[in-house]
Amino acid sequence: MLDLMSALADWQPAATGERCAVATVVGTGGSVPRPVGTSMFVSESGDVLGSLSGGCVEGGVVAAALEVIADGGTRREFFGYSAEDAFAVGLTCGGELEVHIELLADTFGGLRPEGRDAQDAHDPGAGLALIRRVDALAPRGNASARGARAVVVPDPASYQVAKSDAVAALLGAAGGGHALLLAAAAQLEPLLRSGTTGVVRLAVESGCYGSPGARRPAAGPITLLVESRRPPARMLVFGANDFGAALVPAAKLLGYHVTLCDARPAFARQERFALAEEVVTDWPHRYLAAEAAAGRLDARTVVCVLTHDPKFDIPLLQAALRLDLAYVGAMGSRRSHGQRIESLLAAGVAPEEAGRLHSPIGLDLGAVTPAEVAVSITAELVALRSRSPRGLSLKDGSGPIHRRRPHSGAPDAAALHPAAPHP
């Protein structure tokens, strides 16, 4: 749901006061199109915002959501592939989905405006999280318990669950449930800190959780859905050239906060780099060192060196390879890569540090044009993030980077070498 919250304010059915339901994936099995936490809104008139499966179960989810809107209850729906009934609603990929459906007003209650404010006003560098009750015994939204089914967390990296009155209210543990809060903190905080999504179940014994004298009957576990988003990882693109211009928008599609840096003002200020969050005119190695000293780089940061000029590349790579970064890649041919490694070793870079360099940069896709090279680079980043063994990095291959295209009239590969204009 976290991904749809920003769109909710402008969604016409919600803006005009229609009753709406929210359907959320809370369990999966086997191969499924979307992960736990994926949500879809359904209005009483049948309008839909979002998707749970790409189409194969949406009809059944909408029907169940309309029932929830009609009777005000909640639903747990299970969808899987049915070999016996070809017309049954299910997943053709063979997986299974567990979907929780409730009224949108019950989810947010009186928290809804504050939730919007938290999302609109929060520091993008601090992240955002949403904690929701999705078990059958979750309190229903009403005037006396508004917001009791969801908590918006504007700074998940530093949020202390055990000290949170909002989480205590969510659990029904206000005034006497410190042990329950501690148990919740042990499971919630790792998800909040890591920026991941997960389901947390807390066993509740019959006893005294809540206000003094109030007793809770023995019941199933409290079930919480946690969606946490860390601030976007940074990508630093060095090189205001055609390849940098293609990589900036491609990287933004993957969610990176992109900075373009080039020491040449006339190149850096071109309009084609305006999509970058920041455009910096500075010597690359000096800018990188300043960002590292200011604590603005971390283990998720990506550095892509597209300048292909030793006077920029060597001092920049010398600094980058000594930092704890997710990825350092440099454009160039295998010949220029060999020369670059020799220069780095001569400058004092340790062999194991030099071994971290992804050069030639990207996956071996036969990329030629700047747009294709951008796809190659982002494909390698996706493969590394998912730890996929399927992608072959150009750094691990041998032979020419480019092969002549099989179609007649294909341009000569050497004339289209992506290692920036001239070695």
- For residue 422, being part of any structural domain is answered with no
Average of pLDDT values for 234-260? 96
Query: What distance in Å separates the CA atoms of residue 387 and residue 403, rounded to the nearest whole number?
Result: 27
305 in a structural domain: yes
Q: What is the pLDDT of residue 211?
A: 43
Please check whether residue 423 lies inside any domain of the structure. no
Question: What confidence tens digit (pLDDT) does each residue in 180-207 have?
Answer: 899 999 999 999 999 999 999 998 765 4
**Residue 209 and residue 327 in one domain:** no
Residue 113 lies in a domain: no
Q: Are residues 388 and 349 in the same domain?
A: yes
The larger pLDDT score, comparing residue 21 to residue 8, is at 21
160 and 300 together in one domain:
no
Give the per-residue pLDDT at 391. 62
Answer yes or no: do 267 and 375 share one domain.
yes
Q: What percent of the chain has pLDDT over 70?
A: 76
Of 107, 137, 159, the one marking the end of a domain is 107
Mean pLDDT of 244-249: 97
- In this structure, is residue 116 part of a structural domain? no
**Beta bridge partners of residue 48, listed in sequence order:** 42
For residues 211 and 103, membership in a common domain is answered with no
- Angle separating helix axes 370-385 and 242-253, nearest 10 degrees: 40
Tell me the per-residue pLDDT of 329-351, one tens digit each, with 9 for 90 and over. Answer: 999 888 889 999 999 999 999 99
Q: Are residues 181 and 255 in the same domain?
A: no
Residue type, 376: S
Query: Does 115 reside within a domain?
Result: no
Structural domain boundaries, residue 6: 2-107
Which range scores top for mean pLDDT: 174-183, 318-327, 398-407?
A: 318-327
Torsion over CA: 342, 348, 353, 356 (sign): negative
Q: Are residues 266 and 187 in the same domain?
A: no
Rg of the Cα atoms in the chain:
26
CA distances from 412 to 112, 333, 417, 420 (A): 59, 16, 9, 16
Could you tell me which of 266, 231, 235 has the C-alpha nearest to residue 361?
235
pLDDT at residue 175 greater than cutoff 70:
no
Mean pLDDT across the chain: 81
Domain match, 306 and 403 both: yes
Q: Do residue 283 and residue 401 come from a single domain?
A: yes
DSSP calls for 242-279: HHHHHHHHHHHHTT-EEEEEES-HHHHT-GGGTTSSEE
User: Domain end: 229, 264, 283, which one?
Assistant: 229
Q: Are 321 and 356 in contact (CB under 8 A)?
A: yes
Which residue is it, tokens 């971290």?
356
Indicate the pLDDT class of residue 107, thresholds 50, 70 and 90: confident
Q: Which of 207, 229, 251 is the last residue of a domain?
A: 229
Q: Could you tell me if residue 133 is inside a domain?
A: yes
Say if residue 255 is in the same domain as residue 160: no
More confident residue, 11 or 216: 11
Q: Say yes or no: 197 and 265 in one domain.
A: no
Q: What is the pLDDT of residue 85?
A: 40
The mean pLDDT of 207-217, rounded to a whole number, is: 45
Number of domains the chain is built from: 3
Q: Which of 90-104, 120-134, 144-158, 326-340 holds the top average pLDDT? A: 326-340
Asked if pLDDT for residue 420 goes beyond 50, the answer is no
Name 63's Cβ contacts closer than 8 Å, sequence gap at least 6: none
- Clarify whether residues 241 and 306 are in a common domain: yes
Domain of 270, CATH number, reads 3.40.50.720
Task: Give 357-412 pLDDT, tens digit per residue.
Answer: 999 999 988 899 999 999 999 999 999 987 766 666 767 766 665 444 444 333 33
Q: Which whole number is the average pLDDT over 160-164? A: 91
Residue 245 located in a structural domain: yes
